[in-house]
Amino acid sequence: MAFPEPLERLIRALEKFPGVGARSAERMALHVLRSPREEVAELAMALRDARVETVRCERCGNVSLETLCTICADETRDAGLVCVVEGPREVEKMESAGVYEGTYHVLLEGFSPREGAQPESAAMRRLCDRVAGGTVREVVLATAPDREGEGAAMLVVEALRGMSVQITRLARGLPVGTRLEYLHGEILAEAFRGRRECAADGGPVESGGAPEA
Amino acid sequence: MAFPEPLERLIRALEKFPGVGARSAERMALHVLRSPREEVAELAMALRDARVETVRCERCGNVSLETLCTICADETRDAGLVCVVEGPREVEKMESAGVYEGTYHVLLEGFSPREGAQPESAAMRRLCDRVAGGTVREVVLATAPDREGEGAAMLVVEALRGMSVQITRLARGLPVGTRLEYLHGEILAEAFRGRRECAADGGPVESGGAPEA
C-alpha cells in the first residue's frame, strides 16, 4: 500500500524540483499536511504568480516583470559594460556587492548552472547581437571559477572572437576575509600565479579598474 | 535590489519547508520559472488537494482520506497488535516489509520526527485509550534506534506502565544484507550484546515470534 492518492500526487509533483529526491519530497509533502491551510494556499498562489508574472528580460535574459528588466531599463547603468553571469542568482550576488554599475547578460537557459548547464545558444546569440550593436565596450566574464563556469566563459570568448570589444574576467586569488589554512591548495596556486607587485604600503601597484586594451 | 516581487514571495513561501534554506528555495523558485505552466499549476493544485483532502486517522493518527485509515478499517488486520511508529513514512516502510499484519499507532504530531520531535500528547492519550479498551494484547515499539526514537519509546513504556499489555520492540543487530566492515561500531556492539544461541544449522535456536510474556 502507498500513501493516500492526494499525498502521492503531491510527492510526485515535488520530486520534479532539482535536488529534491523521493525522501525529501515525502518530508515536504507531510509538512504540507500539517501546515495551516492559508499557508498552503499562499504557496500554491505564489507558485502560479511567479510562473505567470515573470518573464526573461529580452535584452539580458535575467528574470523580469517587464520586457526589459529593471537594470537594463535603468538609464543610469553603464550599457557599455556587460557582465556575463550564469544565472539570476549571480546577478543578485553582483548587485549586492555594490561595486558594479554596468548591465548583465544571463547565459544559461536553465537558471540552474550546476545541473547539466550549457550556455543557451539563444543567450549567446543575444550577447553577440548586443556587442555587434556597437554600444558595448567591455564584456566582463563572471562565470564560476570551476569547470562548467570556465567552459561557459570559453564559449563566450570564442563567440565574441574578432568583434571589437574588450573581454575581461573577474580576478582570481585569495578570497578576502578567509584564513589561508582553510583554503584549497588550488586557490593558493592560482593566487600565486596571479601575484602582483606590491606598492610601499602593501597594496597593489596598480589597483582597480579594467586593464587597458 | 532583490528579485522581482512574485519571485521573492515564492522563495519566502518555499523556505517554510523543513530542510529548505534560502539557497535551495531560490533554486526551486527559479526552477518553477522555467517549468511548463501546466506543471506548476499541477503542483499548486496538488498542494491544496493534499492539504484539504487528507486527515489523520482518528484511531491511529496516520494520514488518511477517511475518519479511519485503510489499515484501521481493514478487518483482516490484527487489531490486537499495535505497532508504534514515529510517522506515516515508517508505516509505509513497515508495510512494504510485508511481514506485519497488525495495526499502527503514529506517535508524532509533526510527521517529521527528526525535527524537534516530541511524541504528541494527544497521540499518547489515544494510545492509552486504545490499550485501555482491552482489545490490544501487544504493543510493538518501532521507533528509530537513535536518541529521539529511544526517548519516544521510553515515554510510551511509561505511559503504558501498569496496563495489561505486552510491550515489545523490534530486534537490534546486524542489518541483513550489509558487510560488517561498513557498519558503525555501535551496531556491532549492540549485535554482540544481543547475541543468540546458534542451532546446528547456524540459525537461531528460537526464531521469529514475539517473546512470551
Number of domains in chain B: 2
The cell numbers describing A147, all together, are 569547470
Q: How far apart are CA A76 and CA B191, in angstroms?
A: 71
pLDDT of residue A60 exceeding 60: yes
In a domain, B166, yes or no: yes
Determine whether the interchain pair B54/A4 forms a contact, defined as Cβ–Cβ distance below 8 Å: yes
**Cα B123 to Cα A29, A99, B106, distances in angstroms:** 21, 56, 7
Same domain, B95 and B30: no
What residues have CB less than 8 Å from B195, skipping those under 6 apart? none
CB-CB neighbors (< 8 A) of B110 in chain A: 34
ipTM: 0.72
Same domain, B182 and B100: yes
In a domain, A166, yes or no: yes
Determine whether the interchain pair B47/A44 forms a contact, defined as Cβ–Cβ distance below 8 Å: yes
Compute the count of residue pairs across chains A and B with CB atoms less than 8 Å apart.
171
Quote the domain boundaries for residue A10.
5-53
CATH number for the domain spanning A155: value is 3.40.1360.10
What residues have CB less than 8 Å from A190, skipping those under 6 apart? A145, A172, A173
CA distance A179 to chain B (A): 24
Same domain, B47 and B94: no
Instruction: Reduce the secondary structure of chain B to three states and give it as a string.
Output: CCCCHHHHHHHHHHCCCCCCCHHHHHHHHHHHHHCCHHHHHHHHHHHHHHHHHCEECCCCCCEECCCCCHHHHCCCCEEEEEEEECCHHHHHHHHHHCCCCEEEEECECCCCCCCCCCECHHHHHHHHHHHHCCCCCEEEECCCCCHHHHHHHHHHHHHHCCCCCEEEECCCCCCCCCCHHHCCHHHHHHHHHCCCCECCCCCECCCCCCCCC
pLDDT of residue B119: 60
Same domain, A98 and A37: no
Nearest to A64 among B4, B14, B39 (CB): B4
pLDDT of residue A115 exceeding 70: no
Same domain, A48 and A82: no
> Tell me, what amino acid is at A118?
Q
pLDDT of residue A116: 47
| Stretches in chain B below the pLDDT threshold 50 | 110-117, 207-213
pLDDT of residue B211: 47
CA distance B181 to chain A (A): 26
The cell numbers describing B202, all together, are 547456524
The cell numbers describing B20, all together, are 529548505
pLDDT of residue A1 exceeding 90: no
Nearest to B33 among A31, A40, A63 (CB): A63
In a domain, A10, yes or no: yes
Q: Which of A37, A45, A47 to mutate to test the interface with B (most CBs of B within 10 A)?
A: A47
Q: Burial level of A43, CB count in 10 A (0-12/13-18/19+)?
A: buried
Residue of B nearest to A64 (CA): B4
Determine whether the interchain pair A6/B65 forms a contact, defined as Cβ–Cβ distance below 8 Å: yes
Nearest to A41 among B31, B48, B64 (CB): B48
Same domain, A34 and A121: no
Determine whether the interchain pair A63/B20 forms a contact, defined as Cβ–Cβ distance below 8 Å: no
Average pLDDT of the residues in A96-108: 90
CA distance B150 to chain A (A): 21
In a domain, A142, yes or no: yes
CA distance A143 to chain B (A): 17
The answer to whether B203 and B196 have CB atoms below 8 angstroms apart is no
CATH number for the domain spanning A43: value is 1.10.8.420
The answer to whether B155 and B107 have CB atoms below 8 angstroms apart is no
The answer to whether B30 and A111 have CB atoms below 8 angstroms apart is yes
What does the pLDDT look like over A174-194, one tens digit per residue? 888 888 878 888 888 888 888
Determine whether the interchain pair B63/A6 forms a contact, defined as Cβ–Cβ distance below 8 Å: no
Same domain, A124 and A184: yes
In a domain, B165, yes or no: yes
CA distance A158 to chain B (A): 27
In a domain, B58, yes or no: no
In a domain, A155, yes or no: yes
Residue of A nearest to B30 (CA): A111
Same domain, A34 and A104: no
What residues have CB less than 8 Å from B174, skipping those under 6 apart? B180, B183, B187, B188, B191
Average pLDDT of the residues in A74-97: 92
Q: Phi first, then psi: what are they for B140, rounded to 5°?
A: -100, 115
pTM of the predicted protein model:
0.72
pLDDT of residue B120: 65
Q: Which run of H or E residues covers position A96?
A: helix A88-97
Residue-wise over B10-46: b if at least 16 C-beta within 10 A, else e?
Answer: bbebbbbbeebeeebbbbbbbbbbebeeeebbbbbbb
Same domain, A125 and A170: yes
Q: Which run of H or E residues covers position A44?
A: helix A37-53
Determine whether the interchain pair A5/B65 forms a contact, defined as Cβ–Cβ distance below 8 Å: yes
The cell numbers describing B193, all together, are 550484546
Same domain, A37 and A89: no
Same domain, A18 and A88: no
Determine whether the interchain pair A33/B71 forms a contact, defined as Cβ–Cβ distance below 8 Å: no
Determine whether the interchain pair A34/B110 forms a contact, defined as Cβ–Cβ distance below 8 Å: yes
Residue of B nearest to A24 (CA): B19
Same domain, B127 and B193: yes
Half-sphere exposure of A28 (CA within 13 A, CB side): 33
What does the pLDDT look like over A161-170, one tens digit per residue? 999 999 998 8
In a domain, B64, yes or no: no
Average pLDDT of the residues in A56-79: 95
**Mean pLDDT for all residues in chain A:** 85
